[in-house]
Amino acid sequence: MGQVPVSLLLISHLLTLPTAIHHTTAQQECTSLNTVPHQVRAGYWFSHSDRYSPVSNINTSLYTHLYYYSLSLDDTDSRVALPPDDQLPLLATFSTTIKAENPSLKTILSIATDDGQTNVSNAAFSSMVANQTLRAAFINSTMELARTNAFDGLDLAWQFPSSSSDMASLGILLAELRARINEEAQSSSSPLLLTATVYFSNHLFDVPADNLDYPMEAISDNLDWTNALCFGYHKNSDVTAFDAPLYDKASHFSTSYGITSWLDAGIPACKLVMGVPLYGRSWFLKNKMKNEAGAPVVAAGPRQKMSNQTGMMAYSEIKEILKDPDVVFLYDNQTVSAYIHSGRLWVSFDSLEVVEVKIKFALQKRLLGYFLWPISFDDSNYTVSKQASDIWLRNHDSPYYEDENGVEQAPSPAQLPPQDDALTPSAALSRSTHRSPTTHQLHLDLYILLFLLFYLTTL
Ligand SMILES: *[C@@H]1O[C@H](CO)[C@@H](O)[C@H](O)[C@H]1NC(C)=O
Ligand SMILES: *[C@@H]1O[C@H](CO)[C@@H](O)[C@H](O)[C@H]1NC(C)=O
Ligand SMILES: *[C@@H]1O[C@H](CO)[C@@H](O)[C@H](O)[C@H]1NC(C)=O
Ligand SMILES: *[C@@H]1O[C@H](CO)[C@@H](O)[C@H](O)[C@H]1NC(C)=O
Ligand SMILES: *[C@@H]1O[C@H](CO)[C@@H](O)[C@H](O)[C@H]1NC(C)=O
Ligand SMILES: *[C@@H]1O[C@H](CO)[C@@H](O)[C@H](O)[C@H]1NC(C)=O
Ligand SMILES: *[C@@H]1O[C@H](CO)[C@@H](O)[C@H](O)[C@H]1NC(C)=O
């Protein structure tokens, strides 16, 4: 046993290092569409939180796309409903205000079932998509409103289609929208972007209909990208729960499950965008000594000023609570979740640690990007937006990103490997052996290679 076997071992190790840039078929699929951007670092801005988070305060350098959330549907004629009079100026100036600061930022008008103030019923969407005349009215009015107010795109945030005929009609609507957008683009400079905001997984749980799946072909073919709402997993829980864990051994309700389900169903990764919540879920504990996840609760947490809903808190509101030195902050590295408790109050939320691991997960999955929901809930320094953007850019723009192992290793979970599919823990375990080389290791390996070449040529 001399130096040669050792050298060969090292060389074989080095040969496994990526030296070429890999383009997956999915990436090719995306670059063939000229409207698809290189990356998406998006934020939803809640028009109804304007008084707390005005457009003029947004740090526009932190995003590539901003969503105006939202307008709803007028159920009398299926046209887009104009906002209340006092919000009309906001709609009219949103895009121009943002672009004055950052001309490369794109703005997208979101049409939603839930506009945060009125509760537009899913029934209005159901009847609109089911009827060709009503679909045409919807398409015409949304496109017109987007253009008159200088938006670059349209988003359909139907939460959620709930029958198989809803799903089939949604597919038809998306195809018709795409056709109209392409047609219109011939007479205008650039086509409107078209996105949809969808359930966290491609398969809907907790709906009366069985086997309710999104129309994958219509989604992949007609949308520029799809935003998966990767949060709100335990809205009506009667025990404390993590609202948006990345991993969950016990159920399907996790971001890793949802993202993997969309990818497995066939959406190209470069057309999928992962949601990260800037709100937390709060409860009052039954017993303040029982303060783990899964602890009994007596009620939803207190309504706060800006988030304005019991059981919900904005990141900025949680940060205020954290100023109290008696508040306990904990990070759960198995599920990638954070929570605080203080007396009887218990809140789960996405801390900066959670955001870091989730963004790295999105990078490792080669997703087109992420969106923050909503940026109105960030603190006044836009700390979460900055954290997400910094981590995304540092990795995405690194020369190693093109290599499939090129993303910095997320710091956790260290003990428990990632689980993409809650039902096959063994598959997840085997993945834990795929440790990626860090930038430093790659540099080190290159030095070893140079040394070996030198050594071998001098033999
Ligand atoms: C906005 O974010 C950028 C990028 O992180 C930062 O350099 C800049 O200082 C921020 N601007 C303000 C006004 O905070
Ligand atoms: C909206 O309507 C749904 C179902 O009709 C209901 O469960 C929900 O509580 C309503 N939300 C608000 C904010 O009123
Ligand atoms: C579609 O909607 C239009 C306008 O409301 C109505 O006149 C027509 O009867 C509807 N068509 C069907 C098939 O329901
Ligand atoms: C909407 O319909 C009106 C009236 O038919 C038409 O003039 C306009 O061009 C349409 N707009 C779009 C965006 O299709
Ligand atoms: C809070 O929500 C209620 C409806 O639930 C609404 O009437 C009220 O105007 C909202 N308050 C603020 C400050 O937005
Ligand atoms: C924002 O940043 C400034 C300067 O670093 C700091 O003094 C202030 O406390 C921060 N505000 C929040 C809400 O974090
Ligand atoms: C994860 O949590 C466990 C238990 O709290 C701890 O022992 C371990 O060091 C943590 N790992 C990381 C990487 O933080």
List per-residue pLDDT tens for the chain, 459 residues long.
344 444 444 444 443 333 333 334 444 466 545 455 789 999 999 998 999 999 999 999 999 999 999 999 998 899 999 988 888 999 999 999 999 999 999 999 999 987 555 556 788 999 999 999 999 999 999 999 999 999 999 999 999 999 999 999 999 999 999 999 999 998 877 999 999 999 999 999 987 776 799 999 999 999 999 999 999 999 889 999 999 999 999 999 999 999 999 999 999 999 999 999 999 999 999 999 999 999 999 999 999 999 999 999 999 999 999 999 999 999 999 999 999 999 999 999 999 999 999 999 999 999 999 999 999 999 999 999 999 999 999 999 887 776 666 676 654 443 343 444 433 322 222 222 233 333 333 444 444 455 555 555 555
Minimum CA distance residue for ligand 3 atom 10: 131
Q: Given this model, what pLDDT does residue 84 score?
A: 84
Mark whether 458 and 392 lie in a shared domain: no
Question: Is any atom of ligand 7 closer than 6 Å to the C-beta of 411?
Answer: yes
Within a domain: 291: no
Is 62 touching ligand 1 by the criterion CB < 6 Å?
Answer: yes
CATH code, domain with 242:
3.20.20.80
User: 293: CA distance to ligand 1 center in Å?
Assistant: 35
The whole-number pLDDT of residue 339 equals 98
The contacts of residue 103 (CB under 8 Å, 6+ apart) are: none
What pLDDT, on a 0 to 100 scale, did the predictor assign at position 443? Answer: 45
Domain co-membership, 149 together with 192: yes
The closest-lying atom of ligand 3 relative to the alpha carbon of residue 131 is: 1
Q: Which of 56, 57, 61 to mutate to test the pocket of ligand 1 (most atoms within 8 A of CB)?
A: 61
Cβ 127 under 6 angstroms from ligand 3: no
Measured distance CA(73)–CA(82) in Å, rounded: 9
Residue 303 domain-assigned?
no
Residue 301 counted as domain residue: no
On whether both 25 and 101 belong to a single domain, the answer is no
Q: Is there an atom of ligand 7 within 6 Å of 333 CB?
A: yes
Whether residue 181 has its Cβ less than 6 Å from ligand 3 = no
Residues paired with residue 373 on neighbouring β-strands, in sequence order: 277
Q: What is the pLDDT of residue 126?
A: 94
For a mutational test of ligand 7's pocket, the pick from 247, 354, 415, i.e. the residue with the most ligand atoms closer than 8 A to its C-beta, is 415
Nearest CA to ligand 3 atom 11: 131
Asked if residue 226 and residue 132 are part of one domain, the reply reads: yes
Cis peptide before 208 (omega within 30 of 0): no
Residues with CB under 6 A from ligand 6: 379-381
Q: Domain total for the chain?
A: 2
Token pair of 115, please?
């506009």
Residue 342, in any domain of the structure: no
**3-state SS, one letter per residue, for the chain:** CCHHHHHHHHHHHHHCCCCCCCCCHHHHHHHCCCCCCCCEEEEEEEHHHCCCCCHHHCCHHHCCEEEEEEEEECCCCCCEECCCHHHHHHHHHHHHHHHHHCCCCEEEEEEECECCCCECCHHHHHHHHHCHHHHHHHHHHHHHHHHHCCCCEEEEECCCCCCHHHHHHHHHHHHHHHHHHHHHHCCCCCCCEEEEEECCCCECCCCCCCCCECCHHHHHHHCCEEEECCCCCCCCCCECCCCCCCCCCCCCCCHHHHHHHHHHCCCCHHHEEEEEECEEEEEEECCCCCCCCCCEEEEECCCCCCCCCCCEEEHHHHHHHHCCCCCEEEEECCCCEEEEEECCEEEEECCHHHHHHHHHHHHHCCCCEEEEECHHHCCCCCHHHHHHHHHHHHHHCCCCCCCCCCCCCCCCCCCCCCCCCCCCHHHHHHHCCCCCCCHHHHHHHHHHHHHHHHHHHCC
Do 452 and 404 lie in one domain? The reply is no
Query: Which atom number of ligand 7 is nearest to the Cα of residue 333?
Result: 1
Same domain, 83 and 16: no
User: How many of the other CB atoms lie within 10 Å of CB of 237?
Assistant: 17
| Cβ of 145 less than 6 Å from ligand 4 | no
| 198 shares a domain with 156 | yes
* Distance between Cα 339 and ligand 4 center (Å): 50
Any atom of ligand 3 within 6 Å of the Cβ of 134: yes
Q: Distances from the Cα of 259 to the Cαs of 66, 200, 323, 425, 432, in angstroms?
A: 22, 7, 34, 17, 19
Q: Residues 83, 94: contact at Cβ < 8 Å? A: no
- In-domain check, residue 309: no
Q: Residue 452: which domain range?
A: 1-32+435-459
Residue 297 within any structural domain of the chain: no
Ligand 4 centroid to Cα of residue 147, in Å, is 11
Q: Are residues 377 and 242 in the same domain?
A: yes
CA distance 424 to 249: 9
61 ligand 1 Cβ < 6 A: yes
Rounded Cα distance, 35 and 184, in Å:
14
Amino acid code (one letter) for 159: Q
Tokens 């800037």 appear where? 278
Residue 387: the pLDDT is 98
pLDDT of residue 236: 85
Does residue 250 belong to any structural domain of this protein? yes
Q: Give Cα separations from 316 to 165, 306, 307, 321 (angstroms).
A: 41, 9, 10, 9
64 C-alpha vs ligand 2 centroid, how far in Å? 32
396/441 same-domain check: no
Residues 6+ apart with CB under 8 A from 199: 159, 160, 214, 228, 229, 258
Distance CA 336, CA 48 (A): 30
**Assigned domain for 295 exists:** no
Tokens of 283: 């409860």
Same domain, 179 and 256: yes
Ligand 7 atom nearest the C-alpha of 332 is 2
Query: Are residues 17 and 94 located together in one domain of the fold?
Result: no
User: Separation of 330 CA from ligand 7 center, angstroms?
Assistant: 11
Same structural domain, 241 and 372: yes
The one-letter amino acid at 74 = D
